[in-house]
Structures are given as structure tokens and as C-alpha cells.
């Protein structure tokens, strides 16, 4: 049975509907007339359903594939302009009671160094992150009710928000912790989190059960229904994702979009972000042991098709991916990237040594945040450290309606430029600063409303003079 508005995972992520979708997509992968009509519909920038988008993903006609990529690029520019939101992960604890076969945190791994940060250690990490220039974090933990209970996560969030080192501040803490109860989601909301992020890993139930053989994460329905509980607990920004490589990518793609459709149908708002991680080498994990790895071209096509299907949903790529893949992914849909990331517990203050490895996976893009910021500007993007929407309460459906009406442009670009100026003044290397000042001048001309542009110009002058108020 397939019911988008059901609250039961097996119904809103219906295996039968996904298989039917994949059959339909396969039958139509050479159907130029249908694909043309889907592209025409997608040009209206209102998105596509999972079946329609699955046909685009399956499309086997080179000229039409080119059009898919170029439309994704246009939609990306229309909705996000040149802005790219910056963030960094912060690993609090890698204790874990689960048995996820792709993750080195799994409970049977006896040689990974187990660590959990004390509040003092969190301070050191946050100061290191602030000194790089970060304003937005994604908290990461393994699942362990004893070593990493919800109270520890809540205390850590309070600690992070309380630290103001020099001009630094973490203004948005997103949280990527295991599926939990409505009550705990409510507590996270009260603690002032931004987005609650949880990767589905795979929507294929049978594979899910095998890939998560032991521990609380084994419960597929509890995990898949987590976003509904988060929304019931008052969190209106949720971030979805699958770990590509575990199952057939087309199955995951359809499942991901069905999940988004379900959240929109039941809660009136789809996911705030979609992440696209691929399995990486890690302590005792060999990505080649998984049969469903995808090549870079397929990966980019998935990103392009997600962009077309859900134009309003932010898309995140991490340092799991190399500089060159990230560069291409930015063009077709990615709106948020991490920079200067460490995936080890305590790795910002004290970089890992070989014998004391607590990292979750190997990072492919090892550049510093300053290098990433400069690279983005060299490519014509505006790195944004803005968190204003969240701070002004523009979350959930309020954010989505601004986005859908196009009004977000008048609001996001000035904020991005002001936070970029803060970064340039406080943290940038001389080369980055020189390029940044040029970018700022040019981009101020792109703010649609002249009055808003004038206000932004004045605020930027204030920032240069050292007069700050933390609205962003």
C-alpha cells in the first residue's frame, strides 16, 4: 500500500511504489517526448514528483541529459544566486552501541580510539572553529544512551552557544544524532538547534535490516519515522539524506523524494536540506566491500535531478568529496558545503595522530577554511556565513514560502555579503581578503532592491569600522 500521508514508514516509503517507479523510469528512459515534457514542467521551477524525477535520472539520451544538467544549473542560480553557505561538523563522541556495517563507530570495533569531549574540550574545539571563522556547526555523535545521553548533547549545545571568543560566535548549531523520541526532539528545539539532520542510510528495508544488524538503529520504522517525531516535537527544519553506495542509487533517489513528499503532505513543509554522502574508507571500513558504489558522473546526475525535483531544498556536500567533484557539484545544485573539517573527536584543537584514530571517515578535501573560501570566490561564488533566517525565526514553512515567492533573494544576498565582510575582516588571509573585497563590491550591485543595497553597503562600512551587531 502506498499512502503519502500515512505516518507508517512502510506506507509512505512503499517498496512496491518504488519498484513500480523504477519500472516506469526504465521503460521511459529513451522516451524523448516524455522527457521533453518533464523538462518543460521542471522549467516552471515548481519541482517534480518522484516518478517524474526518476525518469529524468534514468534518461539515456545524451542531448537530453545535457539539458537536465543545464536546467539544474539554472534552477540552482535562480534560487540560490552565487551564495554558498559554509559550515563545519563537530564530533562530540564516537561511542556507539549500533552495529552499522559501513561505519567504524560500530560497537564491535575494538581498535578505534573511543572519545567523548568534556565541556572544557568542547570549548577548545569551538574556539578553534571560531578562530577559523565558522559560525554554523553540525554536531555529530554515535548512538550510546549511557556514554552520550540527550542531557550531554543539550549541555554541549548550551556550551557551544555560550562561547564568544574575540569576534567569534557559533550562531547556528545543527544536530546529527540518532533517531530519538518526540520528547527529546522537543528538548533539542528548546535548546535552540537549527536543523535536525538524520540520514536514512538506505530506504531499502531489507538491506537496511542487514546493514544495521544490531542496536536500536536496527529498527527501520523507528528510524524512518524520526523526521515525523522531530516535527511533532516542534523542529520544523529537518535534513534528510542517504549514504550512497549501500543500495541501488535509483531506489534511494525515489525513496528520498517520497520521504520529502511525505513530509510536505503531512507537515506542510518538506526537508530543509538534503545531504548526499557517499561511503568512504574509514578505520575498518573498505568502501569496495559495498557493491553499489556510484561513479562521479552518476553522482552529479543525482545531484542535478534532486535540484530539479525539489528546487527549494538546500543541498549539502561534505569534505568526503574531493575538490574537483565539489566544484562540479556546486554548479548543479549544492548550496551548502563544509570547509576545514575534521571528522575525529577533538580534531580541531588537536589534529589526529596515526595511533589515536577516532575519525569517522577519511576526508578527501583537506584544505583549510580560508583556502575553501578563496577557491569559492575564485569560482565566482559568495561564501556565506549567514544564519539570519534561523535567528529571525524564518524556519520551516515561513522559510519555504519566502523562498517560493523569490523574496529570499533580497534578504539572503545582503546578509551573505555582510557575513562575508565579517569573515574577511576577522579571519581571512591577505590574498583571500583582496579577492573578497572585489567580490563584495561586484555583488552589492546584484542586490535587487536599491534601498536594501544601500543598507547593506552601510552595514558593511560599520563592520569595517568594527561596529557589529550580531543579527546575521
- For residue 142, state whether it binds ligand SAM (rule: CB under 6 A): yes
Q: Are 225 and 178 in contact (CB under 8 A)?
A: no
Closest approach of Cβ 222 to ligand SAM, in Å?
Answer: 11
* DSSP-assigned states of every residue in 20-71: HHHHHHHHTTT-HHHHHHHHHHHTTSS---HHHHHHHHH---HHHHHHHHHH
Closest CA to 176 of 89, 261, 100: 89
Name which of residues 225 to 244 contact ligand SAM (CB under 6 A).
Answer: 243
What is the C-alpha separation between 295 and 309, in angstroms, rounded? 21
- The 153-192 site mask, x for binding ligand SAM (CB under 6 A), equals -----------------------xxx--------------
Among 17, 82, 125, 140, binds ligand SAM (CB under 6 A): 140
In the complex, the smallest distance separating the C-beta of residue 112 from ligand SAM, rounded to whole angstroms, is: 12
Helix (H) or strand (E) holding 342: none
Site residues (CB under 6 A) for ligand SAM, limited to 48-107: 102-103
Where in 8-37 is the site for ligand SAM (CB under 6 A)?
none
* 280 makes contact with ligand SAM (CB under 6 A): yes
Task: Please say which residue, 2 or 290, places its beta carbon nearer to ligand SAM.
Answer: 290
User: Can you tell me which of 198, 306, 386, 400 binds ligand SAM, judged by CB under 6 A?
Assistant: 198
Sequence-separated (6 or more) residues with CB below 8 Å from residue 356? 113
CA-wise closest residue to 421 among 451, 452, 456, 448: 456
The rounded distance, in Å, linking the Cα atoms of 346 and 287 is: 25
Nearer to ligand SAM, 249 or 361 (CB): 361
CB 35 within 8 A of CB 59: yes
Q: Residue 268: which residues within 8 A CB-CB, separation 6 or more?
A: 397
Tell me how far, at minimum, the Cβ of 280 lies from ligand SAM, in Å. 4
Q: What angle do CA 205, 179, 51 make, to 5 degrees?
A: 45
Which member of 52, 201, 228, 422 binds ligand SAM (CB under 6 A)? 201
Choose one: 145-153, 193-201, 229-237, 456-464; the region binding ligand SAM (CB under 6 A): 193-201
Q: Which of 17, 82, 125, 143 binds ligand SAM (CB under 6 A)?
A: 143
Which residues, 6 or more positions from 450, have their beta carbon under 8 angstroms from its beta carbon? none
Among 68, 279, 306, 428, which residue sits at the site for ligand SAM (rule: CB under 6 A)?
279
Integer Cα distance of 370 and 152 in angstroms: 31
Per-residue x/- mask for ligand SAM, residues 297 to 336, rule CB under 6 A? -----------------------x----------------
Residue 342 binds ligand SAM, judged by CB under 6 A: no
Q: How far is the CB of 177 from ligand SAM (least distance, A)?
A: 6
Stretch that binds ligand SAM, among 10-18, 279-287, 407-415, 446-454 (CB under 6 A): 279-287
Q: In angstroms, give the least distance from the CB of 352 to ligand SAM.
A: 16
196 neighbors 217 (Cβ within 8 angstroms): no
Rounded Cα–Cα distance for residues 306 and 54 (Å): 10
Cell triple for 140: 555529530
Contact residues toward ligand SAM (CB under 6 A) are 102-103, 140, 142-143, 176-178, 198-199, 201, 217, 243, 277, 279-280, 282, 285, 320, 360-361
Amino acid at each position: 500500500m502506498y499512502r503519502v500521508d500515512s505516518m507508517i514508514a512502510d506506507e509512505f516509503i512503499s517498496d512496491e511504489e518504488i519498484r513500480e517507479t523504477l519500472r516506469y523510469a526504465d521503460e521511459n528512459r529513451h522516451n524523448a517526448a516524455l522527457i521533453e515534457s518533464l523538462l518543460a514542467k521542471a522549467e516552471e521551477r515548481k519541482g517534480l514528483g518522484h516518478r517524474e524525477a526518476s525518469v529524468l535520472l534514468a534518461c539515456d539520451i545524451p542531448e537530453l541529459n545535457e539539458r537536465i544538467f543545464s536546467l539544474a544549473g539554472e534552477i540552482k542560480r535562480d534560487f540560490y544566486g552565487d551564495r554558498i553557505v559554509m559550515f563545519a561538523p563537530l564530533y562530540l563522541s564516537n561511542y556507539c552501541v549500533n552495529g552499522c556495517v559501513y561505519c567504524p563507530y560500530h560497537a564491535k570495533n575494538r581498535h578505534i580510539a573511543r572519545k567523548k569531549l568534556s565541556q572544557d574540550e568542547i570549548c577548545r574545539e569551538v574556539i578553534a572553529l571560531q578562530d577559523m571563522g565558522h559560525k554554523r556547526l553540525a554536531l555529530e555523535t554515535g548512538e550510546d544512551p549511557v556514554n552520550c545521553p540527550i542531557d550531554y548533547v543539550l549541555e554541549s549545545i548550551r556550551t557551544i552557544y555560550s562561547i564568544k571568543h574575540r569576534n567569534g560566535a557559533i550562531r547556528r548549531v545543527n544536530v546529527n544524532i540518532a533517531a530519538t523520541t518526540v520528547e527529546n526532539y522537543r528538548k533539542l528545539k528548546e535548546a535552540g538547534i537549527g536543523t535536525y539532520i538524520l540520514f536514512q542510510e538506505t530506504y531499502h528495508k531489507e538491506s537496511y535490516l542487514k546493514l544495521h544488524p544490531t542496536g536500536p538503529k536496527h529498527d527501520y520504522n523507528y528510524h524512518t519515522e524520526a523526521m515525523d517525531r522531530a516535527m511533532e516535537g516542534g523542529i520544523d527544519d529537518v535534513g534528510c539524506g542517504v549514504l550512497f553506495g549501500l543500495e541501488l542509487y535509483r531506489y534511494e533517489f525515489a525513496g528520498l523524494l517520497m520521504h520529502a513528499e511525505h513530509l510536505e503532505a503531512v507537515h506542510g513543509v518538506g526537508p530543509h536540506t538534503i545531504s548526499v554522502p557517499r561511503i568512504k574508507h574509514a578505520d575498518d571500513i573498505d568502501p569496495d566491500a559495498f557493491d553499489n558504489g556510484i561513479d562521479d558522473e552518476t553522482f552529479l546526475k543525482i545531484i542535478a535531478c534532486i535540484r530539479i525535483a525539489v528546487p527549494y531544498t538546500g543541498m549539502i556536500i561534505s569534505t568526503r568529496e574531493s575538490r574537483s567533484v565539489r566544484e562540479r557539484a556546486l554548479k548543479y545544485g549544492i548550496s551548502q558545503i563544509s570547509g576545514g573539517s575534521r571528522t575525529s573527536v577533538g580534531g580541531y584543537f588537536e589534529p589526529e595522530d596515526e595511533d589515536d584514530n577516532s575519525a569517522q571517515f577519511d576526508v578527501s578535501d583537506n584544505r583549510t577554511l580560508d583556502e575553501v573560501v578563496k577557491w569559492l570566490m575564485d569560482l565566482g561564488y559568495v561564501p556565506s556565513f549567514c544564519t539570519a533566517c534561523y535567528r529571525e525565526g524564518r524556519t520551516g514553512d515561513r522559510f519555504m514560502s519566502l523562498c517560493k515567492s523569490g523574496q529570499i533573494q533580497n534578504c539572503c544576498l545582503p546578509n551573505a555579503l555582510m557575513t562575508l565582510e565579517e569573515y574577511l575582516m576577522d579571519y581571512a588571509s591577505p590574498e583571500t581578503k583582496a579577492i573578497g573585497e572585489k567580490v563584495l563590491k561586484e555583488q552589492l550591485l546584484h542586490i535587487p532592491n536599491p534601498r536594501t543595497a544601500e543598507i547593506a553597503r552601510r552595514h558593511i562600512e560599520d563592520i569595517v569600522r568594527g561596529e557589529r551587531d550580531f543579527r546575521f
